[in-house]
Structure 1
Amino acid sequence: MIATARRSTALVSDLWVQATEIRQEWLDIGLTTEPADRSATEEAIASIYARHRRGRPEFRWVSSPAAAVPHLAGLPTHATLRSWVADRRPPGRPPLASDIAAGLSRLRSVLAETYAEPLPDRKPMKREKGKPWPVLPVDRALDAGLPFHELVRQGVREALFRTLADQIYHPIRAALGPALPVCWYGHQDAAWIAHLEVLRRLGLISVGDGSAFVAWTTLARSGGWWWPGEQHCVVVDRPAVIRMSPMPGAWHGELRRDTGQPAVDYRDGWSI
């Protein structure tokens, strides 16, 4: 079913104001240093396991990504997952992480298919064939009639990704070595979740019964990094301190790591 825009007569600029408020909410979630809600996190992960026909795992909580590493032996890497989408697939059943990744991809695709662009309040921009949409400051994008979905992609998902991925979890992964097994990032997965939350709360997509999406939003609101194994799941408590400052010249409130001191301190003292 195609979603119907809740405020089809609203100005796109008004919708964008609401989008920025939701973006800030999810930026705050991505940067939270509150301890994880362990009960809510475990229930959300268990529901994802059940969706992929796995029983409830044993949960192993640790205080930092570095403390997780000794518990990750045998879990699949990104190279392992790529082998399951190659022409010559390995024998046997795909690892749980592969099933989760495929299920998440399907979920995001299904939600995207329900999108309904709000009625334009000015002449829509035409994209040149074979070229991407231009990246513009918000006022110019609105004046030029950039599609609202593209504005949300640039100004919510990509902006939060530049803060949470480029400035936080990519450097952490790099510090832990090149062959770190596949994981998801809990509250730091806020970029793609915020993108869909903006569209959902503005009435521009339909999430159906919402149970699959709710599991991921609950994880983001309650927990930190997690590595799913067939029998056990390693989960990291959230950091004790995150130090960020405004990124000069940023159009969408992006932040960067402070210099001269660790960007992230975990509760066991490990930092980057």
Structure 2
Amino acid sequence: MSVPRRLEAADIRDEWLGWALSTLPADQTAAEAAISELYERAGRPAPRFLWVGSPNAAMEFVPAGIPMREFVKTLSIASRLATLGSELREALDRRVGHPWALAWGQGEPDPLDAEVRDPLRDFVRDGVCTPLRLALPLAERLTWYGQHDAYWIAHYDAWRRIGGRTFRGLNGQLDLWATLARSCGWWWPMEELCVVSLRPVSVRTEEQRLHSEQGPAVAYADGWSVHAWRGTRVPWWVIADPTPDRIAQEPNIEVRRCAIERLGWEAYIEQAGLRLVATARDPRQSRLRPAAVRPTRHGVGPPRPCPARHQRLGGAGRPAAALRPRGPRPPGRPRRGRRMDLRPVHRPLRPAGPAHMNPTHTEPAHPNRTHPNPTHTEPAHPNPTHPEGEPMTVNLATLSDRTGLAVLEHLERQVAIPVIEGIQAQGDLLVVPLRLVGAAVTVRDLARWQDVPATGLELLRGAAGGNPHSLVADPGTCTWTTDVRDTFRLALGVFHNSTPVYLLHPEHGATGFTPGAYVVRRQREFDHRLTLRGGGGHRLIAD
């Protein structure tokens, strides 16, 4: 993309972002005219309009407690408008030449999409609209988002203005949706009545996400508001009055983390009466370093001896012996006065399938395979290198650039990501080799598998609509399915990888997995309050 065209795309993006975050008074005349014309296109007369101060106030007038299928059946105008919108986007996609949302593995986005569509989708839809949705009982209600529909309208507007596409015959309907995005907030159509919300009176963001340290992040004229801390929706007390007692009673660990950050870790430790029970050195300090290794693209490769660096684990004041260049012994509990060898152990990987499967069977990876067997292991690809022959390093910065998912500032972006065999935990997820839970978790016979792209596959998002867990792999080396049975109902899915893959999270960082088959499960914790109520005594951990 040329520099002038990129600047034009940035202007279009900023223009629509301004409308998405606008706090100007609603243009009620323009909004009512556009909605009336949409009703006419759907074969219905213009409705009466009821303007409310916020989306929360609209819940009083929009039918509640009706499943979405019954909601659509009862309010046929809602079904017709949803169909009109879907048909419009499909027709526009055909003119553009590719769908609005590319499926995983369909290649890199067009530079124009990367400049306009992707940032607006992440900021407006995921960063602003999703926290507001989570604050309302909208799961069983069809909702149109007015100004927050700007993220998809801007995509087609950019292709129309500078992308060289013509939408003859479709411009009129696209302009109606664009008018609504410029003139009002959320709205709900019914047969004779249309409820429309005013825009918010204040919106506070930081780094393309809702955030406010002083009051609500989004506030409406009628007093309804949503509080957010660095993109995570939180109760009002997290911002206004976080206390150790409230933090201890909060079941959501993501909200607890936000409350502690708001209060400050030192203040929380002091006010909660916590006492020091042990200390440990920071592994990033020079006094404690991992053995020198030669990094590769997928983690760590053969060790390179570096006697100048010492391991100091025990044995006060005495330097460790020089690292051995070959033949490291398996790590274990060191005897008194000995040092622990932290270098990677080069031994054949154990089979990833359950014990009752053939442990010696292997099969090469095939890019066109649609139903891989997760119980068979595949030979790992050779360690790739740059064209010049230098090995590549996988670190947080590399994964963040590949996926576009930013990590929080407290994480060291240049640290090499370890690739480990065995059970690993990340927030509310637990990743377990399939062979260890083969009796409880099985893959369905006709499971549908999908390739995990280099840009990442989102497995789970935080309960408060915050940070996602994303699986990242090189193209053609990892497949994922959700068609699994789990007797404990904890499994999200199974992935099968022939080379190391990584699980990335903005707050927890990243961890790597050796080739094999793994189950991704939710973690749960014991809750005595559920036992007292006659429940099972366990609840899912909410990250």
Q: Under TM normalisation by the shorter chain, which class is it?
A: 0.7 to 0.9
What SS does the aligned partner of 1:61 have? Answer: strand
1:24 to 1:77, Cα distance in 2 relative to 1, 3 A: farther
How far residue 151 of structure 1 moved from its aligned partner, in angstroms, is 2.6
Percent sequence identity is 37
Aligned to 1:257: 210
Displacement, 1:16? Answer: 2.2
| Alignment check: 8 A CA contact 2:19 2:182 kept | yes
- Secondary structure at 2:9 match in 1: helix
1:106 alignment partner in structure 2: 87
Q: Deviations over 1:118-167 (max 9, x none)?
A: xxxxxxxxxxxx82324xxxxxxxxxxxx6xx233333223112211222
Partner of 1:238: 199
Structure 1 residues 178, 43: CA separation in 2 closer, same or farther (over 3 Å shift)?
A: closer
Distance 1:61 1:194 in 2: 26
Deviations 1:44-66 (A, max 9, x none): 00010000001000101000011
Does the 8 Å CA contact 2:75/2:191 hold for their aligned counterparts? no
Report SS of the residue matched to 2:141: coil
1:222 is matched with which residue? 183
Deviation for aligned residue 1:71 = 0.2
Q: 1:41, 1:159 → 2: CA distance?
A: 26
- Give the direction of change, closer, same or farther, for the CA distance of 1:163–1:189 in structure 2 (3 Å limit): same
Report the structure, 1 or 2, having the larger strand content.
2
Tell me which residue corresponds to 2:10: 20
Give the whole-Å Cα distance in 1 for the aligned partners of 2:97 and 2:186.
Answer: 33
Q: C-alpha distance in 1, partners of 2:172/2:160?
A: 14
Using the size of structure 2 for normalisation, the TM-score is 0.38
Give the secondary-structure state (helix, strand or coil) at the position aligned to 1:256.
coil
Retained in 2: the 8 A contact 1:76–1:97?
A: no
Native 8 Å contact 1:75 1:182 kept in 2: no
1:170 aligns with 2:130: yes
Give yes or no for the alignment of 1:132 onto 2:106: yes
Measure, in 1, the Cα distance between the counterparts of 2:2 and 2:177. 28
Deviations 1:19-75, CA, capped at 9 Å, x for gaps: 111000000010000010000000000010000001000101000011100000169
Give 2:145's match in structure 1, choosing from 174, 179, 185.
185
In structure 2, the CA distance between the partners of 1:268 and 1:211, relative to structure 1 (3 Å rule), is same
Q: Which amino acid aligns with 2:174?
A: F
> 1:77 and 1:97 mapped to 2: Cα distance?
14
Q: Which amino acid aligns with 1:68?
A: A
Of structures 1 and 2, the one with the larger relative CO (CA 8 A, separation 6+) is 1
Gaps of 5+ in 1: 1-10, 85-89, 118-129, 135-146, 248-254
Q: CA deviation at 1:94?
A: 7.0
User: Normalising by structure 1, what TM-score?
Assistant: 0.73
CA distance in 2, matches of 1:200, 1:76: 39
Q: 5 Å matches for 1:40-189? A: 40-73=30-63, 78-80=68-70, 95-115=76-96, 131-134=105-108, 150-177=110-137, 179-189=139-149
Aligned to 2:22: 32
CA RMSD of aligned residues (A): 2.4
Q: Which has the larger radius of gyration?
A: 2
Match of 1:197 in 2: 157
Contact 1:58/1:232 (<8 A) preserved:
yes
Tell me how far apart the structure 2 counterparts of residues 172 and 52 of structure 1 sit (CA, whole Å): 28
The aligned counterpart of 1:270 is 224
Q: 1:270 to 1:180 in 2, by over 3 A?
A: farther
SS where residue 33 of structure 1 aligns?
coil
Provide the secondary structure at the position in 2 that maps to 1:244.
coil
How many residues were matched structurally? 219
In the alignment, which residue of structure 1 is the partner of 2:255? none
The structural deviation recorded for 1:97 is 1.6
